Chain A
Amino acid sequence: MIRLLTRCIKPLAVALLAAVASCAWAQKTTLVVYTALETDQIKAYQEGFNKVYPDIEITWVRDSTGVITTKLLAEKNNPKADVVMGLAATSMAIFDNEGMLIPYAPAGLSRIASQYRDSKNPPAWVGMDVWGATICFNTVEAAKANIPKPETWKDLTKPVYKGKIVMPHPASSGTGFFDVTAWLQLYGEAEGWKFMDGLHENIAQYMHSGSKPCASAASGEYVLGISFEYRANREKAQGKPIDLVFPKEGLGWDLEASGIHKGTKNLAAAQKLLDWSITDAAMALYAKNFAIVAIPSLSQPLPNVPADYASRLVKNDFAWASKNRDKILAEWSKRYESKAAPK
């Protein structure tokens, strides 16, 4: 018995030693990158980056926009991130105001369209691509329940959609947040909240991420999911019966943007990541996922996304959105979160 036990302990001890040794052996630079990129995008981006810089390892800290934003703010005085990549520009603007970013002009900055980067020079953050609102509309379920395809945001408040719509929670999801700010900018404050009051009557669930509403619509759990074009295209490509709807009044949007976090001990590596993030190779990877990339000439048409997509985006005042983020979320929570469970 004892021998059996000692025999078990020995390999364990060896494994432990090996683990300790392997830590000491790895001498690569490791960058801690906070991101809200989709899990299924990260891999391609990382591989692209490592093709050029094989000796820089990236540890991704991924969560939805709201969670990453609050996390970074909470860690402000004791930062753990080297780089923030693929996070909403509205959040980057908040960090910039708090003095959390190191301005840096990555090589080839001038190619980035001026509306897709921080206006200062050197900029605190640079954009990667635009991600915008899209409704995933399940055609099979709609036909079964005789539900018409909506054309406008206002259509969504009609009684026929009651309990059929899901949307992302604006506090946790960047997609949810730009939907709300787009409505407030489109209709003005008073009208915007009134519209959301009406919409709330039809919403079955507020979901954690911008992806889940589309996934839920695509699997027929609900008929309409307010989401964004990347997820909508992915779901459609998997053979799920959805149409992409782009409401006429205009689409909320934000930029996926990157910046260097103050306090990084790996400034050189961080700058390399920023440089890479606006290379042609990187843009080509973004262009597979999003219709508009930060160097407009490198944008590629996406299936199911209309050619005039850029002109359908609302005029989005990032400064206003980021300045009022807390206020808007508090108001939203007061109106829609404290109510009892939905019918």
Chain B
Amino acid sequence: MMSAAARANPASFKVIPSRLALAAEVLVARGGLILLATGLLVFLAVPLVMILIRSTENRDGVFIGLANFAQYLRSPSFGNSLTNTLQFSVTTTLVTVPLAFGFAYAIQRSRIPYKGLWRNIAMIPILAPSLLAAISFIYLFGNQGWLKFVIGWFGIKTIYGMPGMVLAMTFSSFPHALMILLAALALSDARLYEVAEALGTSEWRKFMTITLPGAKYGLVSACMVIFTMAVSEFGVPKVIGGNTAVLAVDIYKQVIGQQNFQIGAVVGLLLLLPAVVAYGIDHLVQRRAQALLTARSVPYQPRRARLRDSLLLAFVILISAALLLVVGMAAFGSLVKVWPYNLSLTLNHYTYGFEEAGLEHAYRNSLNMAVWCALLGSAVTFTGAYWLEKTRRDQTEGLNFLRPVIRFQAMLPMAVPGMVLGIGYILFFNHPSNPLNFLYGTMTVLVLSTVIHFYSSSHLTAVTALKQIDSEFESVSASLKVPFYKTFWRVTVPVCLPSVLDIFRYYFVNAMTTISCVVFLYSPKTTPASVSILQLDEAGAIGSAAAMATLIVVTSGMVTGVIFTLEWWLVRRTQAWRNTAQS
């Protein structure tokens, strides 16, 4: 770049010897890798190792082997919590995945109208904290719920407990399953269906022998993701679980209620187990996945089928209506004067919350945290992915062993439940002899933990975007003696800006809604809005809890809207090459 600039502007005398530029480039490449590896080590690996260490120590830090495990495993509450956790997670998976599959099937394999609309509605739960669903289901099916009679049809006496937990979790996890299944059903080889048709195969048989097997990797993935989400979910059982104990709530009770960090660490490790197993299974299965599409494939285009399309449309409308109802009910609940006796509308719950319960502060904290998470997260994730995937191995000689280590750590957060990460953070950052101790209780630690918590998906997005760019760019810039970081800034970032914005949005929304990790790390001055929902619920102020949840949905919805518009505008203005390349 320097030489190019010099040539363009002969008056410039700033000609840097290329050897120096080269040295700088190597330094930046190596420094970046080391920085990334150190960051992940300090903010992910070490806190997790701390859990392992502390689980084998007593209160005074003396090694006591597996005594803590024995104590917890022998406690009467353990068996109960374990059974409940497994029942909760398995049921949620069995409910969510088929529903999401039906929805994805309707979008990808039928000719129903307004597909974009249904798709967007189905993504709404992502904007809401899972607590919103729990609160809303109390309004809907609680003892004063408008639709209480409906659960009666299924022989359910009370929503508190397993039924409410599964419903609320299904709502929260639906879009996550849907995204995976939409991708799994996106592409299919039409020739298979043509052959089946020629052989006179029935629709049902085609579905069972072509469609389902084609989507099996997506199905496994969706099951594992939903299972892991439910195992580590804490807000839903806390709010609507009644007396049904699960492992995630046990951790909270041990750490917050009893200040018993050792047993908390033990439960954390136990919670890590099913999540890691699920992740492992998924990983093994995905490795066997082969490309379904070859160069000779013909993309499948669904044909019109009136009966199928009407049925699927009815199904999609039903699900969309249900999702909207859940959000709408929480919003309505937040506006009602005295639920359920005086349904006139009021903003009292908002003003009460803002004036007396410190919600204004919490809301600002959350905004603050979400913006920092989004800025830091998108910057670190994207640059990190670039350094990992695009820097030249010969420039980082001796450090290349770091690449697989970083890659592993970048994917690790996906298998680590937020609560477990949170415990690791308390144990590590609250340790009196840790020089980073000053971070404990600060906004910085909330931001860092949240960036790490949601690192994997963002990393994958970034890597995917980067892989779409030909590495010729790096080769060309190398031959032009332009350091790669200039190429990164001048070419890669602008080209990938839509993906970077996607990562930004993902971090923002998740930081607004997350609770599992931050619930251990906030201090009175940094209480985020999602945690304040929990506190309001604990105090019985369900109207204000609903108000705060609604405010979060509205905020993340608006930010998502702005970013989508920006992406659309950017793609139109700067990414025209994508379309010409495709056509």
Chain A residues with CB under 8 Å of chain B are: 1-2, 5, 12, 38-40, 43, 59-64, 66-67, 70-71, 73-75, 78, 140, 163, 171-172, 204-209, 211-216, 219-222, 231, 238-241, 334, 337-338, 340-343
Interface assignment of B339: CB less than 8 Å from any CB of chain A? yes
- B257 and A214 within 8 A (CB): no
Q: Closest CB-CB distance, A287 to chain B, in whole Å?
A: 19
Q: Closest CB-CB distance, B347 to chain A, in whole Å?
A: 14
Given A219-B339, A338-B80, A341-B162, is A70 in contact with B538 using a C-beta cutoff of 8 Å? no
- A239 and B144 within 8 A (CB): no
Query: Which residues of chain B are within 8 angstroms of A73 by Cβ–Cβ distance?
Result: 259
Nearest 10 A/B pairs, CB to CB:
A215-B540, A338-B76, A74-B259, A212-B540, A208-B538, A341-B244, A220-B144, A40-B356, A1-B494, A70-B259
Query: Which residues of chain B are within 8 angstroms of A214 by Cβ–Cβ distance?
Result: 540
Query: Which residues of chain A are within 8 angstroms of B356 by Cβ–Cβ distance?
Result: 39-40, 43
Residues 489-517 of B contacting A (Cβ, < 8 Å): 489-490, 493-494, 497
- A211 and B342 within 8 A (CB): no
**Chain B, interface residues (CB within 8 Å), range:** 35 or more
Given A219-B144, A341-B162, is A64 in contact with B538 using a C-beta cutoff of 8 Å? yes
Query: Which residues of chain A are within 8 angstroms of B157 by Cβ–Cβ distance?
Result: 343
- A1 and B538 within 8 A (CB): no
Q: Closest CB-CB distance, A233 to chain B, in whole Å?
A: 14
Chain B residues with CB under 8 Å of chain A are: 76-77, 80, 84, 138, 142-144, 157-158, 160-162, 242-245, 256-259, 337-342, 352, 355-358, 375, 432, 489-490, 493-494, 497, 523-525, 535, 537-542, 574
- B574 and A61 within 8 A (CB): no
- Determine the distance from Cα of A311 to Cα of B42 in the docked complex, in whole angstroms: 60
20 contacts between A and B (CB under 8 A): A39-B358, A61-B524, A62-B524, A67-B257, A70-B257, A71-B259, A75-B259, A78-B432, A163-B158, A204-B160, A204-B242, A209-B540, A215-B540, A219-B144, A221-B143, A239-B341, A240-B341, A338-B80, A341-B245, A343-B157
- In the complex formed, the residue of B with least CB distance to A213 is B540
A171, A215, A337, A343: the one within 8 Å of B77 (CB): A337
- B540 and A220 within 8 A (CB): no
Query: Which residues of chain B are within 8 angstroms of A220 by Cβ–Cβ distance?
Result: 143-144, 340-341
- Quick one: which of A140, A219, A343 has the most chain B CB within 10 A? A219
Given A59-B525, A215-B540, is A1 in contact with B497 using a C-beta cutoff of 8 Å? yes
- A212 and B243 within 8 A (CB): no
- In the complex formed, the residue of B with least CB distance to A16 is B372
Q: Closest CB-CB distance, A138 to chain B, in whole Å?
A: 10
- Determine the distance from Cα of A279 to Cα of B175 in the docked complex, in whole angstroms: 57
Query: Which residues of chain B are within 8 angstroms of A75 by Cβ–Cβ distance?
Result: 259
B142, B158, B357, B494: the one within 8 Å of A39 (CB): B357
Given A39-B539, A67-B256, A212-B540, is A238 in contact with B338 using a C-beta cutoff of 8 Å? yes
- A216 and B540 within 8 A (CB): yes
Q: Closest CB-CB distance, B237 to chain A, in whole Å?
A: 11
- B257 and A66 within 8 A (CB): yes
Query: Which residues of chain B are within 8 angstroms of A239 by Cβ–Cβ distance?
Result: 337-338, 341-342
- B375 and A12 within 8 A (CB): yes
Query: Which residues of chain B are within 8 angstroms of A231 by Cβ–Cβ distance?
Result: 540
Query: Which residues of chain A are within 8 angstroms of B493 by Cβ–Cβ distance?
Result: 1, 5
Query: Which residues of chain B are within 8 angstroms of A43 by Cβ–Cβ distance?
Result: 355-356
Query: Which residues of chain B are within 8 angstroms of A62 by Cβ–Cβ distance?
Result: 524
- Determine the distance from Cα of A13 to Cα of B161 in the docked complex, in whole angstroms: 48
